[in-house]
Amino acid sequence: MKQYLVLAFIALLSGCESLDHAMSATNDALGTTGDLLSGDLRPLSAAQPATLTEIWKDWQQNEVAAKDKWSLKTLEIPGIVTRVSATGVIVGQNKLAVIFSDPNNPKCTAQALTRDDLLVNKTAVNKLKKGDRVTVTGVLDSDPALLNEDQKCWLTIGKAKITARS
């Protein structure tokens, strides 16, 4: 009898992992469908490496050219987590926000906004802590902004997938 209980428990645990994987795949599929329906095809392109500082320097040189260069792509940006937060309180309309800085230029920061606060996103974001190294894959959601006279930049990366790095 105990053997059956152990087997049932193992099956239940493996089912949870499969369920989490299924939720992740469903979330990705729904997000892609939403992108197609909204006409935003940027997240469907292959991710291109970039840094927050690169984007900011281009913006300082020529905003029109920089927007053409960076806003039409899916970007893959390395960063260091400075804060993990959320944008609101209404479940289903809330987005999770990971504030991160350029590893080589802490004056250049960004917020990575997930598509929503679904469990699959919470699971990934809940593991992050201040100081963790991450890779943010997403699209530039707003023009970079100058926050103060110290030339500190601020960007928003939307539809973001945040992955911890070692």
pLDDT digits (tens, 9 = 90+) for 83-115: 998 876 665 567 888 999 999 999 899 999 887
Is it the case that residue 1 has pLDDT exceeding 50? yes
Distance CA 140, CA 59 (A): 12
The CATH number given to 47-164 is 2.40.50.140
Tell me the mean pLDDT in the region 3-30.
51
Q: Which residue is listed with tokens 């493996």?
A: 14
pLDDT over threshold 90, residue 36: no
pLDDT at 149 over 60: no
Residues 4-15: pLDDT tens digits? 554 555 555 555
Q: What is the pLDDT of residue 132?
A: 97
Q: Residue range 42-62: average pLDDT?
A: 86
Domain boundaries, the chain: 47-164
Which own/partner pairs from 1-5 qualify as long-range (CB within 8 Å, at least 24 positions apart)? none
Whether pLDDT at 26 is above 70? no
Mean pLDDT of 14-22: 51
Q: Among 8-12, 41-45, 51-55, 149-153, whose mean pLDDT is lowest?
A: 8-12
Which of 74, 63, 85 is CA-nearest to residue 31? 74
Are 27 and 120 in contact, with CB atoms under 8 Å apart?
yes
* CA-CA-CA-CA dihedral for 40, 48, 128, 15, to nearest 10: 70
